[in-house]
A and B are shown apart, each in its own frame.
Chain A
């Protein structure tokens, strides 16, 4: 096959290698020697195999030597260099032949809305509205407030749990087993009740919102909107999906970090989820706790944003590698289809139940063992000095300990303490900040081990602990020194 004069010329060193490889090749191939040489330089396994079948070992060794030499000289991988040249060439031609005839304007209402979502000036206010109505009002106030109250206090608290408790106490003779099943932290009273009556409704509402955002085409636009900011955190727009999902359930979001391309991105995203993103259950309880302290709520949110940005930025500096370029097809904006939204919500709930419910049950059993063996007492005693340094009442240690088993449970424990008048507004704020930054719940921790491995998971555990108490300490001192009382 005759080679035409090339359309696109690569940097001299690469062209030289192409010429030399073309000279060396003897076999019969269904593509030009030029393409063949380029594919060999880019290390295409299928092509190498084909060439190995037709060329002598000496030729192969020479080609390999050429490639290695080029790589040493160029610094960057050859595939990247070649691709870079193609992009440059394409952009140059496109710029030469394309003319702007009129300013680009969206034509339909849907296109307008889509454009507004991506434009930074309008996009961030829209994001704020989506967060306020979608997350705060719908999931937080309605889902975690109204609906949970109905199901947890109404259905479970008044009818189901007393019945189950009576049944167990009547049929199971041994007291520790009774405790295991229906005790304060029992498999039924804590595990099942929490999963079904508290987390399920909250997560259902969240998944509903998430599916609607997904189906309207808002999420890809959000990804484009925050892409630049995320680049500074070593991530790119694609990470929007796990991060937003984290507001529903960090455990699920940790699994979903699989959509990210590199190990580096997955580690950064997992760290941010572990450290800063409150899950919907936790968010619900914290919002309820701080609802009467607007200043406290603002400080809490501000601290989370700062820690989020700082942790991401630091991780991006420390971990080797760089942010990956991000391409995404932007689908048209449209009204969501009800069946699609319901289907996705149900599918996610199904996943949630199969993956997460067993972990709740394990957590209940662990607490039971902890209480039975006195390990709990020991852990509380270890936490005691920490709590004292923070200037908090001793009882908050229990909240921290349980916070590890269920993030929201820790916060719910605070709710009790607050009602009993043991916590001031400042104490509440400090504890809420620590609990949010604090180690993930057992479920998330187990999933992190599964996805990232033991060492990384343990590292994150230690980082989260240190950051949570460090920030708590600084906040506690700052509030005292500045004389701030949030309520």
Chain B
């Protein structure tokens, strides 16, 4: 079973591969909520080969272009401790996403950034999704998105996944990054 899934994956990739977007981040930062906001109805759930960890895959459509979106299991660091983290890293390394969305909890910026640094270090294009902006505001805080973007050197999109705020900006950014540029082999 496991090998068959893999072969299918390879075959698909060999033909015309859809741009792939991976959603990564700590547990409980709104990754799954973002996944559903991006993909809508067409979702498949499967176990990652050889594990009991579930991985969600879905399609996102924006301006007539289709994207594959993968919801990676929660991870705290690139060094895996749990089975979930091991799977998340394997997807990062071997599924070759064209873009990684690092979803972070805006209230806990300092705790989230170590993983951002690790993702950027990997050399994959990263977009930081600054989620839970509403809770940040309620905590009496604000983040200067522009300054954060400059410090990190990658795009930062503020969102409230619960209400859908900022999701269209994010879709637009994904489109610009991946589809507006016909050369998708940025990573290969």
Contacts and interface: CB of A to CB of B under 8 A. Distances in A.
Contacts of B147: 96-97
A87 interface: yes
Given A86-B117, A87-B114, A97 B143 contact: yes
B113 A98 contact: no
A363 to B, nearest CB: 40
Interface string B96-125: 100000000000011111101110111110
Interface string A448-472: 0000000000000000000000000
Contacts of B144: 97, 99
Contacts of A94: 109-110, 113
Contact of B123 (A1, A87, A103, A104): A1
A102 interface: yes
A151 B114 CA distance: 58
A12 to B, nearest CB: 17
Q: Name the residue in A2, A7, A8, A42 with the highest tally of chain B Cβ atoms < 10 Å from its Cβ.
A: A7
A35 B151 contact: no
B180 interface: no
B109 A97 contact: yes
Interface in A101-146: 101-105, 107
| Category for how many chain A residues contact B | 35 or more
A7 B143 CA distance: 19
Interface string A1-37: 1111011100000000000000000000011101100
Contacts of B121: 6-8, 32, 34-35, 38
A26 B80 CA distance: 25
A104 B151 contact: no
B142 A99 contact: yes
A99 B148 CA distance: 12
Contacts of B77: 83
A424 interface: no
B162 interface: no
B152 A35 contact: no
Nearest to A36: B122
Interface of A: 1-4, 6-8, 30-32, 34-35, 38-39, 42, 44, 46, 79, 83, 86-87, 89-91, 93-105, 107, 329
5 contacts: A8-B120, A31-B122, A34-B123, A89-B114, A90-B113
